[in-house]
Structure 1
Amino acid sequence: MSLASADALPGEFTFTDADFEALARLARSEFGLSLASSKKPLVYSRLARRLRARGLATFHDYMALLDRAEEAAERLELVSALTTNVTSFFREKHHFETLRTALIPELAAQKRIRIWSAGCSSGQEPFSIAMTLLHALPPGARDMRILATDIDPAILRKARAGRYPAEECETVPAEFRSRWLRPTPCEPELVEMGPELKALISFAELNLICDWPFAGPFDAIFCRNVAIYFDQETQQRLWSRFAEKLRAGGFLFIGHSERLAGPALPGFGTAGVTTYRKRAIPGPAQPT
C-alpha cells in the first residue's frame, strides 16, 4: 500500500495515510523521532487515548490541534505516547560495573565530577549512578553533580519525587538499599530515595535535538535506549554532539540495541559492551 493512498485504518478514529505522514513529519522535525510506515497501527493505538481525552473524532483534527502555538503541552503528550519509558534500577549492570571499576578510580583524583543521564525517564538511572558514586567517593571533598534530563515533564516530576514501588527497588543491592532508601510511612507500598542521593542530581527538561544550555565537559554520559527512536542521521549527529561535551577519556554508555557510527566513531575507542571512551586524539576510522 502506498503512503500516498487515502485508506484509513479501521477503528474508532479516522486515520489516513496522509494523516500519518503529517504526524511523522512533525515527530521528526520537533523531536527527532523516526516513524516508519509499518508503525502506523502502533501509532494509532498509542494516540487513540489522546483523541479521546481531547474529544476529537479524527487524526486530521488532532493534527490541526497540534499546529496551534498554545498546544505545546499536547505536543509533549504526543512524544510521551510514542515513546516507551521502560527503565529499572541498575539496568544493564555491565555499565555500572564499568563505571565502578574503570571510571571511578580516575574520578577519585578529581575535585570536579560531572555525569549526564540523557533521557533519564523516571529517574532510576541517575539514582543508580548516584549510589555507585557515593559508595566509592565521599562527596564532601569534591564538587560532584549528576545532570538528569528528559523531554517529558510528567515523567520528570516522578523522577524528582524519587518514590518507587518497593518491588521496583529489589534490583538495588541490599547494601545500597539499607544505606540510602527510606520507607514512606504514609505510603507503605513506596520507597523513597534518600536526601544524599537527591542532593547529587539536578533534573531538567530537555529535547535532545534542540540546543543544550550547558557547557560541560562531562566525565561520562549515559544515553541508553533513546537513540533507537531516531533515524540514522539524527543518531549520528547526536553522537557527535555528545563527543563535544565529553572530556578526553570520558565514557559514553548507550543502549543494548544501539551502536556508535558516523563521523563521531574515530574519536572513540571501545571500552566494553555498548560502552565507548573518547580518545585524546581521534584515531583511524573503524568499521561500523
Structure 2
Amino acid sequence: MATFPRRRKPSVPKAKGGKLSRFSKIGRQRLDADGNPMRRRGIYLLPNAFTTAALFCGFYAIVMAMNQRFEHAGWAIFIAMILDGLDGRIARLTNTQSEFGAQYDSLADMVSFGAAPALVIYEWSLRGLGKFGWLAAFVYCAAAALRLARFNTNIEVVDKRFFQGLPSPAAAAMVAGFVLMMTDLGFSGTELPWISWCIALFAGLTMVTNVPFYSFKDVNFRKSVPFIVVFLIALALALVSIDPPKVLMPLFVIYGLSGYAVYAWRLAKGKPVNIVQSADEPVDPSERR
C-alpha cells in the first residue's frame, strides 16, 4: 500500500534563543524594527466607510456654503466630526487598523475640517473684507493642513493625554458653531466680518501652536467611574439638546481657551510644557489608528 509523506506545517522564522523573529507572539503579525506590530496595508470596508461618510459631509458643507445655505453647512461639519471620532474606534474594535486607513482619514479631515470650514466662514462673512477676508480663510486652511501633517509625524512621540495644538475637528467646530449660533440669533455674516476674521485666525493659529489640549484618550469607559461623572455627562447632553447652536459654540470656545490655561498653569508650577516625549518613552502604538 502506497504511503504519502505528511505535509509539513510552515514554520515561523525564529531568532536566537527560540524567540520569534520580526513576528509577534500572536500569529504571524509582523513587527517593525522597534518590536511594535506593523500596520496592515489592506483596505477594510467598515472603518473606511465611516471615513468616506465624513468626507461626504465635508464636501456637502462646501456645496451648501456655495449655495448660501449656511445652517446646513454648519451641521454637516458637526456630523463629520462625529463620524471622524467613530472611524478610528471602529477600526480598533474590529482589529482593522491599516496604513491606508490612517492616510485616508487625514485626507478626509483636510476636506472636512480644513477646506470646508474655511470656505463656509469666507462665504458667510469674510467675502466683504476683500483680501483680508480670503487671507484669514487661507491661514485657517493652511494651519489645518500643517496640524494634520504634524499629527501624523509626531504621533509616536507625543503624550497621548494631550494634543499638540488645537485639534482640527475642534477648530472646525468652533468656526461652524459660530456660524450656527449667529444664524440662529438672526445675525447676518455681513454684520460680523471682523469678529469672524478673529475667530478664523484664532482657530487657525491655535492649531499650529505647541499648547497642550487635553485629549480624553486616557479615559477608560470600560472601568467604573464615580457617579458625579455620569451625572455631568447626562447634564452636558441635556444642555446641548435644549438649544444646540447656542451651547456648542461656547463649549468649543471654552475648550479652545483651556489649552492656554493648562499651558499657563504648568508654566507657573514649573512643570514641563512640552508634551513631546523622548525616544525612550514612546506612545502606545495601539492608540494610533
Tell me the TM-score normalised to structure 2 length.
Answer: 0.25
**Structure 1 or 2: more helix by fraction:** 2
The answer to which structure has the higher strand fraction is 1
TM-score (norm 1): 0.25
Structure number with greater Rg is 2
Q: Which has the higher contact order (CA 8 A, sep 6+)?
A: 2
